[in-house]
Chains A and B, each alone.
Chain A
Amino acid sequence: GNSVTQMEGPVTLSEEAFLTINCTYTATGYPSLFWYVQYPGEGLQLLLKATKADDKGSNKGFEATYRKETTSFHLEKGSVQVSDSAVYFCALSAYDYKLSFGAGTTITVRA
């Protein structure tokens, strides 16, 4: 079946630090890949997505590249802000249109 593995947290960073959250997946066929973000007390919001190999999704300074050869979709941001403190979920959607999620990574950014 489909599955997503992402690095465990929690992770605490200082403002302006570089952020990487690793995500790898197992899926049949050619899935679409997503990063969702959940701010405290809220539901999930789509942060970025990529629908085919070598696509790069980007939004709000975050980027992730769909790497089929390594089955990965790592999230990066060059300079984090306090407002980036949230839980980040990697997810995939394959032929059955259901989303499979990773366990989530809690990121706390300190001023």
Chain B
Amino acid sequence: DVKVTQSSRYLVKRTGEKVFLECVQDMDHENMFWYRQDPGLGLRLIYFSYDVKMKEKGDIPEGYSVSREKKERFSLILESASTNQTSMYLCASSIIGGGKVEAFFGQGTRLTVV
């Protein structure tokens, strides 16, 4: 089975802190994604990466950055955490087969910024 592992299930950070969310996948997938999940808004794409050191902005990149130094690892960075970044963060990885993508998700990190 594909496994996508997020480093923390729950995090509490202070406003202004630099926050790192880590994600590792074990199936050699090219694509990796970071989403945030908020009630009534569904999942919104923050950033995605289609190869090592390659990244593209999603729909809501402001206040976030990412790093992908190795194929299996994709990190989300909150440069200066703010209370409006309190949310559930979901990492996903996917393969591309014949133009059809199927994504596999981690269990999520619930981040609270106080």
Contacts and interface: CB of A to CB of B under 8 A. Distances in A.
B105 A49 contact: no
Interface residues of B, number: 27
Interface residues on A, range: 20 to 34
A24 interface: no
Contact of A93 (B4, B43, B44, B101): B101
Contacts, number: 58
A46 interface: yes
A78 B101 CA distance: 28
Contact of A102 (B4, B42, B101, B108): B42
Interface string A68-102: 00000000000000000000010001010111111
B43 A101 contact: yes
Contact of B107 (A32, A34, A42, A97): A42
26 contacts: A4-B42, A36-B105, A41-B107, A42-B107, A42-B108, A43-B4, A43-B107, A43-B108, A44-B90, A44-B92, A46-B103, A46-B104, A49-B102, A89-B42, A93-B101, A97-B50, A97-B94, A97-B101, A98-B33, A98-B48, A99-B33, A99-B43, A99-B45, A99-B94, A99-B103, A101-B44
